[in-house]
Amino acid sequence: MKFGFISIRQAAGDARVAFRRFPLVLVCAAVAAVLGIIMVSGPGDDFARFRWLATCTLGLPLFVAFETTCERRGWTGSRRVTLLGAGVLVLVGFFLLSGGWTMTMLATRYVQSSVAFHLMVAFLPFTAYPARQAFWQYNRTLFLRFLLAGLYTTVLFVGFAVAILAIDKLFAVHVDAEVYGYLWVVLAFVFDSWFFLGGVPDDIDALEHRTDYPLGLKVFAQFVLIPVVTIYLLILSAYLVRVLATRIWPSGWIGWLVSSVAATGTLALLLVHPIRDREDSRWVDGYGRWFYVALLPSIGMLVVAIFQRLDQYGFTERRYFLLILAFWLAAVALYYGITASRNIRLIPVTLCILAIASIAGPWSAYSISERSQANRLSNLLTAQGLLVDGTLRRSTAEAPPEVSREISATMRYLVGSHGSTSLGRISPDLRLAAERADTTRFRGVRQDNLVTQAVLEDALGLTYVGRYSRPAYVTRYTSPWGRSVGIEDFDALVRLDFSIGRTLVPMGTDTLTVETSSKPARLTIRAGERVLAGVPLWPLVDQARIDVARPSPVGASGTGQTPPPLELNGVSEGVGYRLIVFSLNGTGRGETAEMNSGDAYLLLSYSPGR
């Protein structure tokens, strides 16, 4: 019997060959499937189960890399056993060490190790072998086989799941919902892995002479990925020009955007690598070199944004990895931009080295982040008088909301990522209070909220601010109707809506630009590119909060009277201004306050020659 072009006998033969080539990989897949079934079946010690599952799934890429390396080098007997034994020791070490980690730390280190081991699959069989064409063809085959295995697994799951559902509904045969979970676990770990292994090339040297290139891959890379990357590069470049013009440096999400563009562009160049020498695709070669040159300004912007974030909040694992990635991108961009090298093995090799080097030791992401956040929390507690010479002092007054928020977030990170013992870096009393509060064995991300709340409220007397808590909004309104505004000393009066952000004001032969921003709350007046005045608006938010909290004055008739409008006045660089705010909606206090919306009059006097 045959289905399509592949007979059942051939499929069974391929399966046997895959098992002989990769026995340890399939053993790890089978154990992972059993663990997955146990986890689906019911409650238990989730942390212990996840440790076992993480260890087994790490064995999948690790043993693929080691087995293919042995095949390429012709290692049999003791050499093969030694290399595979080293892989077993790596997995055992990971499992034993993970017993002292939090769930967050386990998940992060698992992802980091998985990335390193998958990169090993790409380059380890080619160490000491300068086979450029074979390297690309080998990884292209693995990439397409991986996608195909995922497609087949999904189709099989949907098909079997619909068949089970039909039996349940048509024949009234009760089927537990867990059965669908069992089905997915078996297919995802066993079938998917076995099918993928059946397509791993067994004669890598023969790939050096292959010149075939899938047309679909060429179309996807040249006419989909590369144009999309180009558009985003132009957007990033335009944004950099805006940043330089406004002198408001980016932070936060811009790092992920630059990283995504760099990753997508690198993937596109890797996919079109074999056709860079073809006459009909010579432009791809030039693009491959100038892509990294064009990426350098955005990488510089990324580095500035990261350091700005580090200066505000210190290191965490994510910021550490983002900083390392930024420096790696800069090095790769300079290398390929200057040398025009075609050595694409450099990409997975260097990334793997960075992933392994930063996983442990005093220089690792975890050690640096723990020290950084512990020092930050110590400084916050000391500044509030809550920590004196390593001894905790209970607060006698309510701390400002911003301080409580920062202390809550920092302690929550330390407890959730590094455990209660990390607080011992700050104070033995603090560690004892956290361990006393940590009464459960579950080390998940929710436990950090409970422990942090207990420590802050019981040991320090502070109000705990949760992860998703938002600062209270303050709204202040004064009707502009029936109020006169004197303009005798000014040249123009403009109605401002803070939600619009930019207003143009003709002043004789010049045109002034008035910009308002929410974060930071600021009013900026420009003449062309020259900044005439930069007016912080956070004092208005603070005054609004005071006015809202203060009881309204009552007139003789008993009717409440609204307070007068808020005002700011000043003179700077030849421009005088008077801002009269009738309504505003803001959050926060002090210099970190934000003005989300507002309505105001702005009076201006302007002397261009001053």
The CA distance from 408 to 449, in Å, is 9
Using pLDDT thresholds of 50, 70 and 90, give the confidence band for residue 250. Answer: low
Least confident of 125-139, 199-213, 539-553: 539-553
> Could you say which DSSP state residue 413 is in?
H
The alpha helices in 466-553, defined as continuous H runs, are 538-549
Mean pLDDT across the chain: 85
CA dist 491 to 92, 166, 234, 566, 578, Å?
A: 78, 79, 40, 21, 11
Predicted local distance difference test score (pLDDT) of residue 556? 36
Task: Say if residue 176 is in the same domain as residue 249.
Answer: no
Mean pLDDT of 417-435: 89
Instruction: Report the candidate in 218, 243, 235, 220 with the shortest Cα–Cα distance to residue 295.
Output: 235
Of 191, 209, 227, the residue that ends a domain is 209
Of 180, 209, 238, the residue that ends a domain is 209
Instruction: Report the candidate in 309, 303, 223 with the shortest Cα–Cα distance to residue 262.
Output: 303
Instruction: Report the candidate in 5, 14, 31 with the shortest Cα–Cα distance to residue 195.
Output: 14
The CA distance from 70 to 445, in Å, is 41
The CA distance from 418 to 399, in Å, is 26
Task: Say if residue 69 is in the same domain as residue 180.
Answer: yes
How crowded is residue 468: how many other Cβ atoms within 10 Å of its Cβ? Answer: 6
Cβ–Cβ under 8 Å, residues 569 and 578: yes
Task: Say if residue 60 is in the same domain as residue 131.
Answer: yes
Give first-to-last CA distance, the chain, whole Å: 93
How crowded is residue 428: how many other Cβ atoms within 10 Å of its Cβ? Answer: 12
The HSE-up count of residue 113 (CA atoms within 13 Å, CB side) is: 22
Per-range mean pLDDT, top range of 196-200, 240-244, 254-258:
196-200
Question: By three-state DSSP, how is residue 520 classified?
Answer: coil
Task: Say if residue 585 is in the same domain as residue 482.
Answer: yes
Task: Say if residue 205 is in the same domain as residue 227.
Answer: no
Instruction: Give the pLDDT confidence of 11-63 residue by residue, as tens digits.
Output: 677 788 999 999 999 999 999 999 999 999 877 677 889 999 999 999 999 99
Task: Say if residue 118 is in the same domain as residue 179.
Answer: yes
Rg of the chain over CA atoms, in angstroms?
A: 31
Question: With left for phi above 0 and alpha for psi between -120 and 50, is residue 517 left, alpha or beta?
Answer: beta
Instruction: Give the pLDDT confidence of 294-317 residue by residue, as tens digits.
Output: 889 888 888 888 888 898 899 999
Reply yes or no on whether the pLDDT at 477 is more than 90: no
H or E segment and range at residue 293 = helix 282-313
Cβ–Cβ under 8 Å, residues 597 and 483: no
Reply yes or no on whether the pLDDT at 559 is more than 60: no
Task: Say if residue 11 is in the same domain as residue 160.
Answer: yes
Range of the structural domain that residue 522 is part of? 473-549+564-606
Reply yes or no on whether the pLDDT at 9 is more than 80: no
Q: Is residue 468 part of a domain?
A: no
Cβ–Cβ under 8 Å, residues 236 and 298: yes
The CA distance from 36 to 529, in Å, is 61
Of 460, 486, 514, the residue that ends a domain is 460
Amino acid identity, position 110 = Y
Task: Say if residue 229 is in the same domain as residue 340.
Answer: yes
Buried b (16+ CB within 10 A) or exposed e, 429-467: bbbbbbbebbeeeebeeebbbebbbbbbeebbbbbbbee
Predicted local distance difference test score (pLDDT) of residue 115? 97
| DSSP secondary structure letters along 64-104 | HHHHHHHHHHT--THHHHHHHHHHHHHHHHHHHHHTTS-HH
Cβ–Cβ under 8 Å, residues 56 and 35: yes
Greatest pairwise CA separation for the chain in angstroms: 102
Q: Is residue 443 part of a domain?
A: yes
H or E segment and range at residue 568 = strand 566-572
Task: Say if residue 592 is in the same domain as residue 498.
Answer: yes
Task: Say if residue 378 is in the same domain as residue 506.
Answer: no
Task: Say if residue 72 is in the same domain as residue 104.
Answer: yes
Q: Is residue 234 part of a domain?
A: yes
**How many distinct structural domains can be found in the chain?**
4
Predicted local distance difference test score (pLDDT) of residue 315? 95
Mean pLDDT of 573-588: 85
Instruction: Give the pLDDT confidence of 198-240 residue by residue, as tens digits.
Output: 999 988 888 888 888 887 877 887 788 888 888 888 888 888 8
Reply yes or no on whether the pLDDT at 109 is more than 60: yes
Task: Say if residue 403 is in the same domain as residue 521.
Answer: no
Q: Is residue 110 part of a domain?
A: yes
Q: Is residue 183 part of a domain?
A: yes
Predicted local distance difference test score (pLDDT) of residue 553? 45
Q: Is residue 558 part of a domain?
A: no
Q: Is residue 466 part of a domain?
A: no
185 Cβ contact partners less than 8 Å away, ≥ 6 residues apart: 33, 36, 37, 40
The CA distance from 415 to 406, in Å, is 14
Q: Is residue 554 part of a domain?
A: no
Predicted local distance difference test score (pLDDT) of residue 133? 85
